A and B are shown apart, each in its own frame.
Chain A
Amino acid sequence: MTEFLVYLITIAAIWGILSLSLNLQFGIAGLVNLGHVAFFMLGAYTSTILVVIAGWPIVVGVVAGAIAAALFGMLLALPAANLKEDYWAISTLAAAEIVRIIFLNTRLGGPYVGEAFGVSGIPRPLRDWFDANGYSLADYNLFYMVLVLVVLAACFALVRYLAATPFGRSLKALREGDEVPLALGKSVGGLRIRVMAVGGALAGLAGALFAHYNAFISPEYFLPLETFIVWAMIILGGPGNFLGALVGTVIIQALYNSTRFIAPLLNIDAQVLGPLRMITISVAIILVIMYMPRGIVPERRRRYGR
C-alpha cells in the first residue's frame, strides 16, 4: 500500500506540473491549448534521446527537454499568435498529433528503438549510487517522489510569481480580450508566444521527469486523451487558480487510479473498466462546466481601486 501511495504521489506531482503549466496558459492567459501533451512528449523524448542514445548526463537531458518544449511552444504560437480561440484549439490539437505521428514513424536507432516500440531502459537519476550504498528500490522510489515534489514546489512558486509580475497581469488582461493589452501598447502576439514558451518549458520538464521515472516511453503514452485529463484537472480545480489546479490534479489522479480497487468489488471486466473511467471523468467535467464553472477553488478576482 505504501508503495502504491508513493507511486500515486509521484505521478500526481508530475501531472501537477503539467496542470500548473496549462493553468498558466489557459487559466491566466486564456489560451485554449488542446495539444498540451505534445510538450510533455517532447520533454520526455528529447531527454530520452540525449541520455539513452547520445549518452549525455541526465541533468543535461532534462534541461534540454524543457528547452525543446519551450521552443516548440514558440513555434506553435507563431502562426496562431493573433488568431481566435477556435483556431488555437484545433491547431494545437493537430500539432500535438503531428508530433506523436513523427515519433511513431521515426526509428531512433537499432532494432526496436523508437517507432511504435518506444524506448526502454531509460536510466533513473542517482540509481547506481542508491544501489551501491545498499538502499532498496522502495527507498529509491521514495527519493524520486521527494525530488518530483521539490520540482513541483519550485514550479508552483515560479508560476505564482509570474502571475503577480507585470507580465502576469498583462496575460490576465489578454484573457479578457485583445483590446485592453493593445490599448496599453502590449504586443498581444508577443505575450502569447512568451506564455507558450514558459508553459511549454514546464510541461517539457514534467515529461522528462516522467521518462526518467517510468524508464520506458512509447507514443502510446501521449494520446490526445492525456491532454484532456490535464484539462479536466484545471476545469475541476478552478481555472486561473494554481492551488485549484493542484487540487484538481489530486482528485482526478485519485479517481483515475482508485478504479483498480473498485473494479474487483463491482466485478467489472477490464476491457470495460478503461472506457468507464473515461466516461466518468468526461461526464463529471461536463457537469462542472454546467453547474460549477469556476471550479472547486475559484480564482480570486482582485478589484483595483474604483
Chain B
Amino acid sequence: MLQVLIDSAIRSAELSFLAVGLTMVYSVLRFANFAHVEFATVGAYLALGLSTTVGLPLWLAAALAILIAGGLGVGIDRVIFSRLRTASPIMLMIASFALGIAMREAVRAIWGPSPFFYNLGILPPWRFLGAFVTPTQVAVIAAAVVAMLAFHFLLSRTTLGIAMRATADNATLSQASGIATDRVIRSVWFIGAGFAALGGVLVGLNTQIKPDMGFGLIIEVFSAAIVGGIGSPYGAILGAILVGFAENVGLAIDWSPVLNAIGFDVGPFTYIPTGYKAAVAFSLLILTLLIRPRGLLGART
C-alpha cells in the first residue's frame, strides 16, 4: 500500500508542474493552451541533447533546458499568440493545437520515434518500510515541494507575483493601474513553459523520453487544472494531487466487493486494467463538470 502512495506522490509531482503552467497561461490569456504539454517533451529532449551530445552533467543540462524552453515559450507568444490577442478563444485553442502538433513532430523529426533514457548509471532503489524508492523518485518529490514553495513565494511575496495575480483578475484594470501587462504575460509564458520543461525532465527520469510523452499526459494535466479550478494555481496543485492519487489508488483497489454488492457476480479479484489509467482522470473530469464546473478552488464566473 505504501508503494501505491509513493507512486501517487511522484505522479502528482509531475502533473503539478504541467498543470500549474497551463492554468497560469489560462488565467492571464483566457484560452486553453493545448501546446502546453509539448514544452515538457521539448524540455526533456533538450536536457537529453545537452547531456549526451554536448556532454554537460545532467543537472546543468536540465537547468539550461528549462531556461531554453522558457525562452521558447516567450518566443512563441511573440511570434504567434501576441498577434492573436483579439482572436476568439476557440481560434486560439485551435492554433495552440496546431502548434503542439508542430512541436511534437519537430521533436520526432530531429530525434526519431524511438525512446531514449537519461544516462544515470544504475541506481539501486532504497527499501523504505517495505516499498521500493529510487533516488530519482525522491528527487522528483523534493523538486516538486521546493518548486511549489518557491512558486507560492513568488505569487504572494514579490511584485511580479502580485502583478500576475492582478493581470489574471482584470487585465484592463491592471494596465490602467500602471502594471506592464505585456511584461507579465512574458513572465507567465517563461515560468509556465519552464515548469513544463522541468516536469518533462522529471517524467523522463522516471520513465522514458519519447515524442509522445507530453501529449500522453494531456488528459491528466487538463483534468488536474479543471478539477482544481482552471485559472487557479493552487487549484492546479490540488487537482494534480487528486488526479495522481486517484489514478494509482484507483488501479490498486480490488473493486470486486463493490461490484458484487451492486449485483455483478465477478468473483474475488477485479482490478481496473492499467490500460485504462487515463480513464480514471477522465472520470474525475466528468464528475467535476457535472457537479462543480468551476472546480474546487475556481472563481465563480
List which B273-294 residues lie within 8 A (CB) of chain A.
273, 275-276, 278-279, 281-282, 285-286, 289-290, 293
Partner of B101, one of A271, A282, A290: A282
Bound-state Cα–Cα, A32 to B31, Å: 13
**For B230, what are the chain A residues with a Cβ–Cβ distance below 8 Å?**
86
Determine, out of A53-61, A92-100, A134-142, A247-255, the stretch whose residues face the partner at the interface: A92-100
A101 is an interface residue with CB less than 8 A from chain B: yes
In whole Å, how far is B56's beta carbon from the nearest beta carbon of chain A?
27
A183 is an interface residue with CB less than 8 A from chain B: no
Q: Quick check: B285 and A285 within 8 Å, CB to CB?
A: no
**For A293, what are the chain B residues with a Cβ–Cβ distance below 8 Å?**
87, 91
Determine, out of B166-174, B195-203, B219-227, B259-267, the stretch whose residues face the partner at the interface: B219-227
**For A86, what are the chain B residues with a Cβ–Cβ distance below 8 Å?**
26, 31-32, 89, 93, 230
In whole Å, how far is B5's beta carbon from the nearest beta carbon of chain A?
25
Q: Quick check: B32 and A271 within 8 Å, CB to CB?
A: no
Bound-state Cα–Cα, A285 to B87, Å: 14
In whole Å, how far is B18's beta carbon from the nearest beta carbon of chain A?
14
Number of interface residues of B (CB under 8 A): 44
A235 is an interface residue with CB less than 8 A from chain B: yes
A259 is an interface residue with CB less than 8 A from chain B: no
Partner of A228, one of B98, B113, B273: B98
B155 is an interface residue with CB less than 8 A from chain A: no
**For B179, what are the chain A residues with a Cβ–Cβ distance below 8 Å?**
none
**For B139, what are the chain A residues with a Cβ–Cβ distance below 8 Å?**
none
**For B223, what are the chain A residues with a Cβ–Cβ distance below 8 Å?**
90, 94
Bound-state Cα–Cα, A101 to B277, Å: 9
Q: Quick check: A30 and B90 within 8 Å, CB to CB?
A: yes
B131 is an interface residue with CB less than 8 A from chain A: no
Bound-state Cα–Cα, A77 to B219, Å: 18
Q: Quick check: A289 and B84 within 8 Å, CB to CB?
A: yes
**For B84, what are the chain A residues with a Cβ–Cβ distance below 8 Å?**
289-290
A89 is an interface residue with CB less than 8 A from chain B: yes
**For B99, what are the chain A residues with a Cβ–Cβ distance below 8 Å?**
282, 286
Bound-state Cα–Cα, A232 to B91, Å: 12
B112 is an interface residue with CB less than 8 A from chain A: yes
Determine, out of A11-19, A118-126, A196-204, A272-280, the stretch whose residues face the partner at the interface: A272-280
Which of B31, B97, B112 has the largest count of A CB atoms less than 10 A from its CB?
B97
A48 is an interface residue with CB less than 8 A from chain B: no
Q: Please list the 6 inter-chain residue pairs (A to B) with the smallest Cβ-Cβ separation, ordered nearest first.
A: A275-B105, A275-B109, A105-B275, A282-B98, A282-B102, A278-B105
B47 is an interface residue with CB less than 8 A from chain A: no
In whole Å, how far is B108's beta carbon from the nearest beta carbon of chain A?
4
Knowing A94-B282, A272-B109 touch, does A290 contact B275 (C-beta < 8 A)?
Answer: no
Q: Quick check: B95 and A279 within 8 Å, CB to CB?
A: no
Knowing A85-B90, A94-B223, A97-B219 touch, does A285 contact B105 (C-beta < 8 A)?
Answer: no
